C-alpha cells in the first residue's frame, strides 16, 4: 500500500514536469514593454520587464492596471497553419489584442468579482489579423494580494499550443477536481463512520478532508461567492486549518495526547484567523508568507514525531503516516520556496494539492482498518454477550422450572390439606355422629342412615370438585343438581332449574368448585331444614355488561325476619363463601314469604381464593 501511493505521487510529479516542456514549434515570450497604472496614481512610463510579472511585488499592494506589449516574430517553417497563444497564468481580469484588434471579451465587461488567474488560458488568433511582424497587447486588471499578474507567454502553431495548453489545464484543473472529489468522498465517509462510532480520529479526518476540498476547489471557481478580500481570508484560513487538523490527526493516530499540545493547537488556530485577516484584509502579506513557514515548521515537527514513533513501534499504520507526512513536508517546502519566493515560478502549479492524495488515502486506509477491527471486536463482544445471555436464560429457565415444581408441590400439599380438612370437618363429623347415635340408641337406625348418607354425599361432592371442568360453570351446577336429587325427593321438595348458557370461567380450581358447592348446599339445606320449603328455584345467568355470573336460589318456605335473626351462622357462611370466590351474596327474606339468595361471581376469579369452609348444617336460616 505505501509503495503504491509513492509510485502514484511520483508519476503525478513526472507528468507535471512533462507538461512544462514545450514543443519545438512554440516560441517562448519572456520580455515585454509594460505600462503600469496603480490606483490613485498617474500611469508610469513604459519600462521593459522580464516575464513572469507579479503584480503584488511591484504595486505596493494596491489595485491597478498594466498594459504589456510583446512582439510576435514570424514562425519559421510553420506555413499557413493557424496561430494561437497559451498563457499559464493571467489576471485577475484581462483583455488581449492583436495589432489593435480585440480577440477576447472587453476588460470592462468582466467585472472585478471574477478571477481568471486560476486557470491557464488559450487564445486562438484569427489569420486575418496576422501581418508577419505583429504586436501582442495584453491588458490586466489586478487586485491587491490576489496573486494577479502575467506569466510567460507561449506563441506558436495552434495545434501545438493547444496540446501544451490541454496538458497544463488537465493537471491544474482536472487534477484539482480529482483531489476535490476524493477528499469530499473520503471526508464524508469518515464523518459517516464517526456517526456510527464516536472516535475523534474519524471526525478530525473527515473535517480536515472537507476543509481541504473547499480550499482546493477554489481553483475551479472563476466567480467566487464572496468578494475580495473576504474570499482570500477564507482560503488562507482553510489552508492553515487543514495543516492544523493534519497535525492534530497525526497525534491521534500516534496516540499522543498532551495537554500542552492541545493548548498550542488552539493558539495556532486562533493565530491562523488573525494572520489571515491581517494579511488579506489589512494588506500585511509578509505575515502570511511567514505563517506559511510556521506551518511548514509545524508539519516538520509532526513528521519528526511520527518518524520516531514509527521507528520505535514498527507498526504499519505509524510507518505509513510518517512516510506520507515526510513526502508532504518536502513537497510543501518546495512549494513555499519555489512558488511563493521564486520570481520565475509565477504560473507554475503547487504540488501540495496532489501530494495530499497520498496522505488522504493513507489515513483512509488506517481509518478503514480501525473501523474494521472495531466492528470485529464489537461482533466478538456481542457474541460473548449473547452467550452470557443465553447461559443466563438457561439458568433462569432452570430456576423457573424449579420454582414451578415447588409451587405445584405446594398447591398439591394445600389441596391435600383441604381434602383432609373437609373430610375431617364434614365426612368425619357425620360418621362420628352416626357412631354416637348407634352407641346411645341402637334402635335409631334412621338417624344413623341419614348421617351416613350425608357423609357419602359429602365424599362424592369432594371427588366432583377434583374434576377438570375446563371453566364450565354450567357443568359444575349440573353435577350438584344430580347429587341433590335424592335428598330433595326424600324431603318432598321440587326443583325448578333455570340455568342459561354460561361462558367459560378462568381459574376454576378445585378450591373454587368446592366453594360454589358449599354456598349452594348451605342455601338449599337451610331452605329444607329451617324454611320447610316445598319448591326451590335455581337460576343462573351471565351479565356481560358487568362481566359476572349471577346464581339465584329462591324457595317458597316460611321465610324469616332478617332483623330478628340473631342465632346461628348460616347467613354469615353464605356471604363468606361468596367472598371466597371474589363475589358477594345478597339475602332477601320475609316472614311467610320465603327466602331468596342472590350471589354473583366475577368472570375472572382471583388466583388465590380463600380455602372454603366445610359444609355444615346451620340451625338458623
Instruction: Identify the top-confidence range among 31-35, 146-150, 196-200, 281-285.
Output: 31-35
Cα distances from 247 to residues 180, 188, 214, 361, in angstroms, run 20, 20, 19, 16
d(CA 227, CA 158): 35
Query: DSSP letter at 127?
Result: G
Nearest to 593 by CA among 549, 559, 616: 559
- Structure confidence at residue 147 (pLDDT): 86
In sequence order, which residues have a C-beta less than 8 Å from that of residue 276 and are 6 or more positions away?
233, 236, 237, 240, 288
- The band of 412, judged by pLDDT with boundaries at 50, 70 and 90, is low
Tell me the pLDDT of the chain averaged across its residues. 82
pLDDT at 485 over 70: yes
Read out DSSP for 366-387? HHHHHHHHHHHHHHHHHHHHHH
Strand-by-strand arrangement of the 31-38 sheet: 47-50, 31-38, 64-72, 134-142, 93-98, 101-102
Tens of pLDDT, residues 348-360: 777 888 888 888 8
- Structure confidence at residue 444 (pLDDT): 59
Tens of pLDDT, residues 180-210: 999 999 999 889 988 887 888 889 989 999 9
The string over 383-399, giving b where at least 16 C-beta atoms fall within 10 Å of a residue's C-beta and e elsewhere, is eeeeeeeeeeeeeeeee
- The band of 94, judged by pLDDT with boundaries at 50, 70 and 90, is very high
Q: What share of the chain is helix, strand, coil (3-state, %, to 5)?
A: 55, 15, 25
- Structure confidence at residue 318 (pLDDT): 78
Tens of pLDDT, residues 27-62: 999 999 999 999 878 888 999 999 999 888 888 778
Nearest to 112 by CA among 139, 137, 138, 94: 94
Q: Tell me the average pLDDT across 510-524.
A: 85
Read out DSSP for 207-244? HHHHHHHHHHGGGG-SS-SS-TTHHHHHHHHHHHHHHH
- Structure confidence at residue 1 (pLDDT): 44
Q: Tell me the average pLDDT across 484-505.
A: 87
User: Is pLDDT larger for residue 360 or for residue 462?
Assistant: 360
User: Is pLDDT larger for residue 462 or for residue 238?
Assistant: 238
Q: Which pTM value belongs to this model? A: 0.59
pLDDT at 324 over 70: yes
Q: Tell me the average pLDDT across 570-579.
A: 83
Amino acid at each position: 500500500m505505501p509503495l503504491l501511493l509513492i509510485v502514484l505521487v511520483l508519476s503525478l510529479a513526472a507528468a507535471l514536469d512533462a507538461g512544462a516542456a514545450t514543443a519545438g514549434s512554440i516560441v517562448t515570450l519572456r520580455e515585454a514593454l509594460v505600462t503600469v497604472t496603480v490606483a490613485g496614481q498617474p500611469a508610469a512610463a513604459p519600462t521593459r520587464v522580464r516575464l513572469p510579472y507579479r503584480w503584488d511585488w511591484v504595486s505596493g499592494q494596491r489595485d491597478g492596471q498594466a498594459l504589456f506589449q510583446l512582439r510576435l516574430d514570424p514562425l519559421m517553417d510553420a506555413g499557413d497553419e493557424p496561430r494561437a497563444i497559451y498563457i499559464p497564468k493571467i489576471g485577475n481580469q484581462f483583455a488581449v489584442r492583436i495589432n489593435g484588434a480585440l480577440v477576447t471579451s472587453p476588460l470592462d465587461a468582466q467585472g472585478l468579482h471574477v478571477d481568471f488567474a486560476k486557470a491557464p488560458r488559450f487564445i486562438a488568433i484569427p489569420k486575418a489579423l496576422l501581418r508577419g511582424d505583429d504586436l501582442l497587447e495584453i491588458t490586466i486588471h489586478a487586485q491587491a494580494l490576489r496573486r494577479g499578474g502575467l506569466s510567460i507567454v507561449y506563441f506558436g502553431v495552434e495545434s501545438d499550443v493547444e496540446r501544451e495548453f490541454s496538458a497544463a489545464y488537465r493537471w491544474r484543473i482536472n487534477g484539482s477536481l480529482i483531489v476535490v472529489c476524493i477528499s469530499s468522498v473520503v471526508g464524508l465517509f469518515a464523518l459517516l463512520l464517526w456517526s456510527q462510532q464516536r472516535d475523534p480520529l474519524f471526525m478530525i479526518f473527515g473535517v480536515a478532508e472537507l476543509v481541504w476540498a473547499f480550499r482546493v476547489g477554489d481553483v475551479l471557481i472563476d466567480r467566487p461567492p464572496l468578494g475580495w478580500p473576504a474570499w482570500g481570508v477564507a482560503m488562507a484560513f482553510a489552508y492553515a486549518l487543514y495543516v492544523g487538523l493534519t497535525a492534530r490527526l497525526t497525534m491521534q493516530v500516534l496516540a499522543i495526547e498532551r495537554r500542552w499540545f492541545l493548548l498550542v493547537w488552539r493558539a495556532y488556530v486562533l493565530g491562523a484567523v488573525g494572520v489571515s485577516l491581517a494579511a488579506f484584509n489589512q494588506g500585511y502579506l509578509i505575515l502570511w508568507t511567514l505563517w506559511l513557514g510556521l506551518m511548514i515548521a509545524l508539519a516538520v515537527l509532526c513528521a519528526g514525531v511520527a518518524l520516531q514513533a514509527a521507528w520505535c513501534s514498527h507498526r504499519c499504520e505509524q510507518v505509513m503516516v510518517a512516510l506520507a507526512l515526510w513526502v508532504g513536508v518536502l513537497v510543501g517546502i518546495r512549494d513555499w520556496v519555489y512558488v511563493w519566493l521564486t520570481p520565475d515560478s509565477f504560473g507554475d502549479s503547487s504540488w501540495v494539492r496532489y501530494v495530499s492524495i497520498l496522505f488522504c488515502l493513507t489515513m483512509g486506509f488506517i481509518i478503514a482498518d480501525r473501523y474494521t477491527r472495531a466492528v470485529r471486536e464489537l461482533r466478538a463482544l456481542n457474541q460473548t454477550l449473547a452467550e452470557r445471555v443465553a447461559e443466563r436464560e438457561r439458568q433462569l429457565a432452570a430456576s423457573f422450572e424449579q420454582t414451578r415444581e415447588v409451587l405445584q408441590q405446594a398447591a398439591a400439599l394445600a389441596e391435600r390439606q383441604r381434602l383432609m380438612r373437609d373430610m375431617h370437618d364434614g365426612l368425619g363429623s357425620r360418621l362420628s355422629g352416626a357412631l354416637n347415635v348407634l352407641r346411645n340408641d341402637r334402635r335409631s337406625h334412621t338417624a344413623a342412615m341419614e348421617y351416613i348418607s350425608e357423609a357419602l354425599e359429602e365424599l362424592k361432592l369432594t371427588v366432583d370438585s377434583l374434576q377438570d371442568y375446563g371453566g364450565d360453570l354450567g357443568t359444575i351446577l349440573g353435577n350438584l343438581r344430580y347429587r341433590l336429587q335424592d335428598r330433595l325427593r326424600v324431603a318432598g321438595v321440587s326443583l325448578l332449574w333455570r340455568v342459561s348458557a354460561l361462558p367459560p370461567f378462568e381459574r376454576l380450581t378445585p378450591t373454587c368448585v368446592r366453594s360454589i358447592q358449599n354456598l349452594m348446599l348451605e342455601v338449599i339445606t337451610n331452605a329444607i331444614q329451617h324454611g320447610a320449603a316445598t319448591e326451590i328455584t335455581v337460576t343462573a345467568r351471565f351479565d356481560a355488561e358487568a362481566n359476572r355470573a349471577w346464581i339465584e336460589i329462591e324457595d317458597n318456605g316460611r321465610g324469616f325476619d332478617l332483623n330478628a335473626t340473631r342465632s346461628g351462622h348460616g347467613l354469615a357462611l353464605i356471604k363468606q363463601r361468596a367472598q371466597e370466590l371474589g363475589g358477594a351474596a345478597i339475602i332477601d327474606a320475609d316472614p311467610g314469604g320465603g327466602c331468596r339468595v342472590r350471589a354473583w361471581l366475577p368472570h375472572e376469579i382471583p388466583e388465590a381464593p380463600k380455602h372454603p369452609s366445610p359444609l355444615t348444617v346451620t340451625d338458623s336460616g
